[in-house]
Structure formats: C-alpha cells, structure tokens
Amino acid sequence: MAISENYGLLSDLTINLSDGYRSGVELDPRFQLGSYEKVDTRETLAHVDGIWDISLWGRNLTDELLPGITTYGAVRSVGPYYNTTQRSLSWGISGPYRF
C-alpha cells in the first residue's frame, strides 16, 4: 500500500491454529498436547525503488508455550523421553539496504 509517492507499507499477519493431538502413538497422557493459536506479524516501511526497507516483526504474540521436538527411548512406555519447546514471544527490527 503506497503511503506517499516514495514510500509503501507492507503488512503480513499469520495465524496458526492447532487442535489438540498426541505427539506419540501410545495413549500416555504425557504425550497429549492441547490446542493452541500462534500469531506472527511483520510491518514493513519500504522505499518504492526497493533500495531499503525497515521492518518491525513479532512472533508468537500470544506467548503460547508451544511444543517443539519430542524424542523417545527404545520402549516408549518405560524408556526415557524429552520434549523441547518453541521460542516464546519475540520481536525485532530488521532492515536491509541494497546498493
């Protein structure tokens, strides 16, 4: 969207929805994951010639504790396992300059 003769504004909104599911094949409640929503956004101010832009971005804006990687031992019901989580709320500013 042009906001002047030389500048444009770009917006991006991503919403990921997930219903509850199990991360393992067994009926073990340790592997049950609840439903969640994850919201990411990016707002970019750009020069129309494309030589520069600056973006403000945010990820996981709802600050949900989201599942990452799950690893199981040889026998899942009695063996070791571990879960990781995805990154929590994060934001930043980025801006390339092209010449």
Please report, for the chain, the start and end positions of each structural domain, with discontinuous segments joined by +.
Answer: 7-94
What is the residue-wise DSSP string for 36-52? EEEEEEEEEEEETTSSB
Tokens 């709320």 sit on residue: 89
**Per-residue model confidence as pLDDT tens for the chain (99 residues):** 788 899 999 999 999 998 887 776 667 777 778 888 899 999 999 998 889 999 999 999 999 888 777 776 665 556 677 778 888 999 999 999 888
Taking the CA atoms of 11, 12, 17 and 22 in sequence, report the sign of the dihedral they define.
negative
Rg of the chain in Å (alpha carbons)? 20
The letter for the amino acid at 33 is: L
- What pLDDT score was predicted for residue 15? 96
- CB-side exposure of 72: number of CA atoms within 13 Å? 12
